């Protein structure tokens, strides 16, 4: 049998961006639960999504945020990896290792930073929460520990700030007891004190009725013999402990049809339950005397999720492949209905989105997460093009409500790029889901413009024919400069920055020239944001020499890019590549 390590990350990135969840959608945490953040962050190599529900629906990513891979790890079977303890957790270390050691080692991958990065859950009164993490080695009152609060702004904390006697918050476990007023329907928000802190686990030990069994769902497995996927649900019965006296082992009954199990309609749990489709498995404990343990029930939600297929774009050609058995790949062009196939050749620039449908025999089928990429089929610049931003602004009610300083926040509405006043131009290709920003400060605006293209990802791509050259003029907002003293700013094209001293008075207009090649305005990799008001691309004046930027000497060690703008180490595939701003062909 082959174990399939799936992650919710790609699925969250696709669905939650369109359908952001709120605290109303968090499942009440009536039972104990172990949240492994790797399962959401993809071991720290993916991204987080604002409004994403994760960990079986028990946690909400309120604000989005970042992840990390370089902040150490916690091994629940090795207490030396979380030797620093807060909140009295040192008394529980041996029990935690004995009970949860099987979860092993995981990276401190999820970052929380004050109220900037916040998650939420709904615990019951008396539940004990253990947070395992890393706090950048800060000590004393500067220690970076979890901050529990009744609000997303973290203005009403439930736990005290660290004091001068706090040990270094290198890698630690923090213990927090949920106050009496929480009934499982009221959220608790978690951020951090004093800045960046990174977490691997949250263990919630609910204040459960005696005999409540613990359940968990294992990873997806493909049975080579049966040609089927399944997940195993594991139940760990608890002894019936009454007033501190251990009455003995309980008997657990379960159902898979959604009904509440009893000793009459349920099956006795003896071994892990194989599930071949999405379902809910319910459990109920009976005491050693054959009587039902009131409230000692639990359930496991079985939900199959699959990674997106691999998508490779080479020029106008796209290929799709998947790691799964019993699978059919599909592609969708610019949002059209999906078509089955493993390849596609474009005749015009477009966005391709791909996904896989996995069949599981008579049990049904699932649709994987999706992946997408632009395909560039471009016309070279032959006449002046002026790219401007259109749209309106409105108050962002949600962002305003969560702003830690109580400031009104605005957002761009119906924003898009226009080319010479038109909505479309085959000369260019704009990466889908470009981000637009609202700038309301008149001192930062360009001629009263309020909506700007925000360079937080790869954006506009265009072509200059071999032997041709163009002059590029980029106007950015007046607060896009990095240095407030000398007002210097810049943009990034194919990894090269333009700006600094080559700007006009005022620091928000950048001019430079480009020769033959395919170019993409890319995300600025430093701090801050670059907000673009307009871009003008014009063929260089053949009658005179103007706006000339000396081409740098050829550098054999310069980075190499494919036509999509991705850096490659060695161009091993056939196709067109770009180095030093010039194209070359590998045959």
Q: 3-class SS at 215?
A: strand
Examine the pLDDT at 525 and tell me if it is beyond 70: no
Contact 311, 371 (CB under 8 A): yes
Class of domain 385-551: mainly beta
- Compute CA 449 distance to the chain's CA centroid, rounded to the nearest angstrom: 31
Model pLDDT for residues 101-128, shown as the tens digit of each residue: 988 999 999 999 999 999 999 999 999 9
**E strands, 41-143, in order:** 52-54, 59-61, 73-75, 84-86, 105-107, 110-113, 119-121, 128-134
What was the pLDDT predicted at 486?
Answer: 56
H/E stretch holding 411: strand 410-419
Give the pLDDT score at 8: 28
Q: Which of 230, 46, 173 is nearest to 54 (CA)?
A: 46
Q: In the predicted model, is pLDDT for residue 502 greater than 70?
A: no
Least confident of 15-19, 296-300, 513-517, 551-555: 15-19
Provide the 3-class DSSP secondary structure of residue 105.
Answer: strand
* 6 pLDDT tier (thresholds 50, 70, 90): very low
User: Which tokens hold the place of 42?
Assistant: 């993809």
* pLDDT higher than threshold 50 for residue 262: yes
Range with the lowest mean pLDDT among 152-166, 229-243, 547-561? 547-561
| DSSP-assigned letter for residue 554 | P
Between 477 and 11, the higher pLDDT residue: 477
**Which pLDDT belongs to residue 346?**
94
- Per-residue confidence (pLDDT) for residue 201, from 0 to 100: 95
Looking at the predicted structure, is the pLDDT value of residue 405 above 60? yes
Least confident of 22-26, 283-287, 417-421, 573-577: 573-577
Predicted structure pTM score? 0.63
Q: What is the mean pLDDT of residues 125-146?
A: 95
CB 222 within 8 A of CB 274: no
b/e map of 301-332 (b: 16 or more CB within 10 Å)? ebbbbbbbbebebebbebbbebebbebebbbb
Q: Which of 173-177, 214-218, 295-299, 465-469 has the lowest mean pLDDT?
A: 214-218
Tally of CB atoms within 10 A around 228? 18
Which DSSP state fits 582? E
Minimum mean pLDDT range among 201-215, 327-341, 380-394, 505-519? 505-519
> Sign of dihedral through CA atoms 525, 526, 532, 534?
negative
Where in the sequence of the chain do the CATH 2.60.40.10 domains occur?
310-375
- Which fold does the domain 310-375 belong to in CATH? Immunoglobulin-like (2.60.40)
Please tell me the distance from the alpha carbon of residue 514 to that of residue 151, in angstroms, as a whole number.
51
- Of 348, 331, 342, the C-alpha closest to 424 is 348
Cα–Cα distance measured from residue 31 to residue 211, given in angstroms and rounded to the nearest whole number: 12
- Given a cut of 70, whether residue 487 has pLDDT beyond it is no
Query: What residues contact residue 493 under an 8 Å CB cut-off, 6+ apart?
Result: 472, 514, 519, 520, 521, 522
Residues 320-324: contacts with CB within 8 Å, 24+ apart? Answer: 320/344, 320/354, 322/356, 322/368, 323/4, 324/4, 324/222, 324/356, 324/358, 324/368
Give pLDDT, residue 9.
Answer: 31
E strand map for 206-334:
214-217, 221-223, 228-236, 239-242, 245-249, 251-255, 267-268, 273-275, 279-286, 292-302, 310-314, 317-321, 327-333
Question: DSSP states of 350-386 as a string?
Answer: EEEEEEEEEE-GGG-EEE---EEEEE---PBP-S-EE
The closest of 190, 191, 194 to 204, measured between CA atoms, is 190
Parallel/antiparallel/unpaired status of strands 279-286 and 292-302: antiparallel
The residue ranking higher by pLDDT, 269 or 483, is 269
Model confidence at 199: pLDDT above 90: yes
Segment 188-192 mean pLDDT: 97
Residue ranges of the chain assigned to CATH 2.60.120: 385-551
For the CA atoms of 37, 39, 45, 48, the dihedral, rounded to the nearest 10 degrees, stands at -70
User: How many whole angstroms separate alpha carbon 286 and alpha carbon 121?
Assistant: 29
Q: Does domain 214-301 have CATH number 1.10.1160?
A: no
Mean pLDDT of the chain: 86
Residues 6+ apart with CB under 8 A from 409: 395, 396, 399, 400, 403
């Amino acid at each position: 049998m082959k174990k399939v390590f799936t992650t919710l990350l790609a699925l969250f990135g696709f669905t939650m961006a369109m359908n952001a969840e709120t605290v109303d959608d968090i499942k009440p945490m009536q039972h104990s639960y172990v949240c492994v953040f790797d399962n959401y962050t993809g071991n720290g190599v993916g991204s987080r999504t604002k409004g994403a529900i994760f960990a079986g629906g028990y946690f909400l990513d309120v604000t989005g945020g970042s992840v990390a891979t370089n902040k150490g790890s916690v091994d629940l079977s090795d207490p030396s990896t979380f030797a620093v303890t807060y909140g009295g957790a040192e008394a529980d270390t041996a029990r935690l290792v004995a009970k949860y050691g099987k979860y092993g080692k995981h990276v401190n991958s999820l970052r929380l930073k004050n109220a900037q990065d916040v998650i939420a859950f709904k615990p019951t009164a008396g539940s004990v929460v253990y947070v395992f993490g890393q706090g950048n080695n800060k000590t004393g009152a500067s220690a970076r520990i979890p901050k529990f609060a009744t609000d997303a702004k973290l203005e009403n904390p439930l736990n005290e700030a660290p004091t001068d006697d706090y040990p270094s918050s290198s890698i630690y476990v923090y213990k927090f007891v949920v106050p009496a007023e929480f009934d499982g329907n009221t959220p608790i928000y978690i951020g951090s004190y004093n800045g960046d802190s990174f977490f691997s686990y949250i263990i919630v030990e609910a204040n459960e009725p005696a005999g409540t069994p613990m359940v968990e769902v294992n990873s997806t497995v493909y049975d080579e013999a049966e040609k089927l996927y399944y997940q195993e649900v594991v139940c760990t019965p608890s002894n019936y402990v009454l007033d501190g006296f251990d009455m003995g082992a309980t008997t657990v009954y379960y159902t898979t049809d959604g009904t509440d199990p009893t000793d009459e309609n349920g099956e006795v749990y003896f071994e892990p339950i194989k599930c071949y489709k999405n379902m809910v498995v319910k459990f109920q404990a009976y005491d050693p005397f054959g009587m039902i343990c009131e409230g000692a029930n639990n359930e496991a939600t079985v939900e199959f999720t699959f990674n997106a297929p691999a998508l490779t774009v080479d020029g106008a050609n796209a290929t799709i492949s998947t790691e799964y058995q019993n699978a059919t790949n599909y592609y969708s062009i610019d949002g059209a209905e999906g078509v089955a196939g493993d390849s596609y050749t474009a005749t015009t620039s477009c966005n391709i989105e791909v996904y896989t449908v996995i069949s599981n025999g008579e049990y049904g089928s699932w649709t994987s997460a999706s992946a997408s990429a632009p395909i560039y089929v471009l016309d070279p610049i032959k006449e002046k093009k002026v790219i401007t931003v259109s749209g309106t602004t409105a108050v962002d009610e949600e962002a305003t409500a969560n702003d830690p300083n109580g400031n009104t926040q605005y957002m761009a509405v119906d924003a898009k790029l226009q080319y010479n006043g038109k909505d479309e131009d085959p000369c260019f290709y704009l990466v889908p889901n470009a981000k637009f920003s609202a700038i309301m400060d008149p001192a930062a605006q360009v001629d009263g413009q309020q909506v700007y293209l925000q360079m937080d990802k790869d954006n506009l791509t265009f072509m200059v024919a071999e032997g041709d050259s163009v002059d590029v003029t980029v106007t950015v907002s007046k607060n896009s400069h990095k240095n407030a003293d000398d007002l210097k700013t810049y943009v990034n094209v194919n990894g090269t920055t333009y700006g600094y001293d080559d700007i006009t008075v005022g620091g928000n207009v950048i001019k430079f020239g480009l020769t033959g090649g395919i170019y993409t305005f890319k995300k600025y990799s430093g701090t801050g944001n670059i907000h673009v008001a307009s871009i003008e691309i014009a063929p260089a004046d053949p009658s005179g020499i103007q706006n000339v930027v000396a081409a740098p000497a050829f550098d054999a060690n310069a980075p190499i890019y494919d036509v999509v703008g991705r850096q490659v180490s060695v161009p091993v595939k056939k196709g067109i590549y770009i180095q030093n701003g010039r194209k070359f062909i590998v045959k």
